[in-house]
């Protein structure tokens, strides 16, 4: 199978990536700058919480930070007293500090996103029009006690004001630990997750694909934020399903790019039927295998990026619409970049989500 205008970037100084340091809390920053602080939990489940961190002026609330929190699946007994307070609606950082924990943030992604793409409820909460850009910060929240740091949650934050919202100390999104001090690019308005390229030896074009491969949790969180935050209340299971579908699709693209041999048997149902635009008829699983072997003799995909537009879950069936950009390098080392779109149909199985059908291909 051949799956084959951004806002101005925000420039930042280099980050010191040598050590974790406690960060100023959002509650402290908002109260210091605007004179007041409050938190409204918009929706909450066992693992996912959306909240509005706001300031007040004459009874009018303005969201300063829109936060989506993915809690660790097993927070641990040591967290229990403070965690109960958080689940009751308290601020995370301030609550854990009250219980004697040191609160640290390990940055995984810094960038921007337009209000229009951030979800239907973000603009009215922030009292902004849809032409504005927001700062986006994705990080791991680490709690330290008795000289041991433990992971508590992964958090996606959208900030009302871009300047001066990001920490002075952070880690790049490397899987090999702290990296030497170097500028980390701030990425405008898309789902690419960029790493420190000096450490990893990646070009700017391929850094986003590396991070997508190694940081599926971030991808799921950001996609969840973009796609699932439009309603006042979100079912935890629905958000988890939609995020899982997105990760499943990304893993399939990445497996094909990596030249893995078993992705077809692992990802497609026995009765799969897919219809690429360049095929005169639908292809079953065996046909996909045959054409996949042929394409491997012609070259390979060397990069891709997916832009999810909508995901619908209906019981055990999921439909995902998305755009893509992919780069194909032929056997003569010539590279061609193409854009296109796909609609994928997936079904829930005992082994997770699998592809039942798809249709799409390069744009004309």
Q: In the listed set 208, 234, 260, which residue is the last one of a domain according to the structure?
A: 234
Indicate if 207 and 260 belong to the same structural domain.
no
The enclosing domain of 223 has a CATH number of: 3.40.1410.10
Same domain, 46 and 78: yes
Mark out the alpha helices in 183-323 (DSSP H runs). Answer: 197-200, 204-214, 216-228, 236-257, 263-267, 285-298
Q: How far is CA 280 from the centre of its chain?
A: 36
Residues 262, 218 share a domain:
no
Q: Are residues 210 and 291 in the same domain?
A: no
- Closest by alpha carbon to 39, among 84, 91, 96, 82? 91
How confident is the chain (364 residues) per 10-residue block, as mean pLDDT? 38 30 73 92 86 92 92 77 90 90 79 75 87 82 74 87 45 29 32 30 38 48 52 48 82 91 94 95 96 93 86 93 92 93 96 96 91
On whether both 353 and 227 belong to a single domain, the answer is: no
Question: Do the Cβ atoms of 135 and 162 come closer than 8 Å?
Answer: yes
Residues 267 and 221 in one domain: no
Rounded Cα–Cα distance for residues 16 and 34 (Å): 28
Residue 12 covered by a domain: no
Is residue 89 located within the same domain as residue 215? Answer: yes
Whether residue 2 is contained in a domain is answered as: no
Domain assignment of residue 213, yes or no? yes
The tokens for 212 are 């997508």
Q: Are 192 and 204 in contact (CB under 8 A)?
A: no
For residue 239, the model assigns a pLDDT of 54
Contact 127, 61 (CB under 8 A): no
Residue 296 lies in a domain: yes
pLDDT for the residue numbered 149: 66
Q: Please give the structure tokens belonging to residue 128.
A: 């902004």
Strand partners, 299: 330
**CA–CA dist 70, 48 (Å, integer):** 5
Tokens describing residue 87 = 């689940």
Residue carrying the six token digits 């074009």: 205
Q: Which residues contact 92 (CB under 8 A, 6 or more apart)?
A: 69, 86, 103, 141, 152, 153
Whether residue 224 contacts residue 45, with contact meaning beta carbons closer than 8 Å, is answered with no
- Looking up tokens 């796609």 gives 227
How many domains does the chain fold into? 2
Please check whether residues 192 and 277 belong to one and the same domain: no
Q: Is residue 11 part of a domain?
A: no
For residue 195 the two structure tokens come to 């790493």
Residue 81 near residue 95 (C-beta atoms within 8 A): no
Residue 161 lies in a domain: yes
Burial grade of 208 (CB within 10 A; 0-12, 13-18, 19 or more) = buried
* DSSP 3-state of 31: helix
Distance, in Å, from the CA atom of 337 to the CA atom of 304, rounded to the nearest integer, reads 9
In the chain the first and final C-alpha atoms are separated, in Å, by 18
Residue 199 sits in the same domain as residue 303 = no
**Among residues 110, 66, 111, which one has the least CA distance to residue 230?**
66
Measured in degrees and rounded to the nearest 5, phi and psi for residue 137 equal -135, 120
Looking at the fold, whether 254 and 177 belong to one and the same domain comes out as: no
CA distance 125 to 163: 19
Q: Are residues 227 and 260 in the same domain?
A: no
Domain boundary among 205, 234, 263: 234
> What is the reported pLDDT for 238?
57
Q: Are 47 and 68 in contact (CB under 8 A)?
A: no
Domain-ending residue, one of 185, 212, 234: 234
Establish if 8 belongs to a structural domain.
Answer: no
Give the H or E element holding residue 137.
Answer: strand 133-145
pLDDT of residue 138: 82
Expressed as residue numbers, the domain containing 309 is 248-362
Residue 190 has a pLDDT of: 35
Inside any domain, residue 15 = no
Report the CATH number at residue 339.
3.10.450.50
275 and 322, same domain (yes or no): yes
pLDDT at 328: 93
Closest CA to 220 of 86, 362, 47, 103: 47
| Token pair for 54 | 């706001």
């Amino acid at each position: 199978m051949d799956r084959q205008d951004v806002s101005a970037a925000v420039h930042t100084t280099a980050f010191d990536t040598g050590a974790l340091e406690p960060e100023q809390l959002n509650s402290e920053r908002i109260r210091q700058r605007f004179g007041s602080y409050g938190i409204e939990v918009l929706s909450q489940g066992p693992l996912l919480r959306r909240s509005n961190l706001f300031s007040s002026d004459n009874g009018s609330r303005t969201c300063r930070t829109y936060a989506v929190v993915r809690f660790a699946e097993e927070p641990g007994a040591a967290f229990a007293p403070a965690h109960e307070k958080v689940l009751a609606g308290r601020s995370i950082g301030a609550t854990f500090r009250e219980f004697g924990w040191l609160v640290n943030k390990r940055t995984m992604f810094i960038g921007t996103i337009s209000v229009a793409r951030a979800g239907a409820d973000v603009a009215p909460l922030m009292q902004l029009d849809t032409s504005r850009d927001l700062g986006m910060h994705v990080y791991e929240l680490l709690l330290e006690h008795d000289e041991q740091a433990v992971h508590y949650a992964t958090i996606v934050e959208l900030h009302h004001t871009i300047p001066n919202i990001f920490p002075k100390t952070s880690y790049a999104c490397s899987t090999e630990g702290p990296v030497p001090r170097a500028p980390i690019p701030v990425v405008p308005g898309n789902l690419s997750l960029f790493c420190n390229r000096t450490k990893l030896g990646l070009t700017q074009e391929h850094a986003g694909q590396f991070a997508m491969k190694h940081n599926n949790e971030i991808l799921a969180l950001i996609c969840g934020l973009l796609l699932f935050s439009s309603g006042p209340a979100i079912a935890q299971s629905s958000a988890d399903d939609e995020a899982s579908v997105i990760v499943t699709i990304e893993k399939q693209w990445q497996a094909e790019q990596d030249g893995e041999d078993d992705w077809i048997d692992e990802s497609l149902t026995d009765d799969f039927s897919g219809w690429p635009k360049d095929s005169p008829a639908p292809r079953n699983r065996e046909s996909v295998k045959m054409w996949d072997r042929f394409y491997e003799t012609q070259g390979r995909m060397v990069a891709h990026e997916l832009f999810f537009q909508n995901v619908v879950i209906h019981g055990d069936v999921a439909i995902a619409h998305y755009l893509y950009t992919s780069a194909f390098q032929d056997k003569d080392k010539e590279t061609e970049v193409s854009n296109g779109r796909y609609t994928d149909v997936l079904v829930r199985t005992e082994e997770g989500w699998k592809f039942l059908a798809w249709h799409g291909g390069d744009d004309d």
